[in-house]
Amino acid sequence: MTDFKAAIFDMDGTLLDSMWVWLEVDRKFLEGRGLPMDEEYTHAIQKMDFAEAAEFTIRRYGFTDTPEMLIQQWNKMAVYEYEHAIFLKPFAREYLTLLREKGIKLAIATASPKELYEPALLHNGIYDWFDVIVTVAQAGRGKRFPDIYLLAAQKLNIPPKECAVFEDILPGVESAKAAGMRSIGVYDPSSEKDLAAIEKAADLFVRGFDQLL
């Protein structure tokens, strides 16, 4: 599928098989605070950007940390895996290659900071494949809002209606549609609980990138 002028990709859980890292970070983080693994908590923060997740965590557990302190700790726990152990999902490279051959502009729209997205993309040899990389921090609001996708389209100089967004989480799928873009849901096991809602909300849902080749 290549009938659009720009493709905007979420990174974690969409292009990269990386959500296992955050499950491990959650486990170690809670364990370090003397708390048991909390599946409800983990499911909730998977839909949030870092700032939202940090604020939610402080409220939920009554921590005295600042959001910035928690984000710094989480990033330190994840950085090695992003530099060495995270790889593209099956057929993601082939699909990106196809889009590039068709002259379609590529963008990343991610909640991850540069210290995580840059080494992961470099490690997988695709960092320079993207015309634009935008973050939630740059957009000013999380993926419950369309701002990050609209910012990517603006930087690409492509009208929203001619953009396709690839996302694995429900808020991203819904916000891409709110931005006036085609919304393509990409399966990831971490979003299994929201699967029915994602399939319903997306213009197209795929289990893997091989379905788009």
Reported as a single tens digit per residue, the pLDDT across 161-175 is 999 999 999 999 999
Name the DSSP class of 12.
B
Mean of per-residue pLDDT scores for the chain: 94
Sites in the chain below the pLDDT cut of 50: none
Q: What is the pTM of this model?
A: 0.89
Residue 38, CA distances (Å) to 24, 65, 105 in order? 12, 19, 40
Reported as a single tens digit per residue, the pLDDT across 2-29 is 899 999 999 999 999 998 998 888 888 9
* pLDDT for res 22: 87
Kind and range of the H or E run holding 129? none
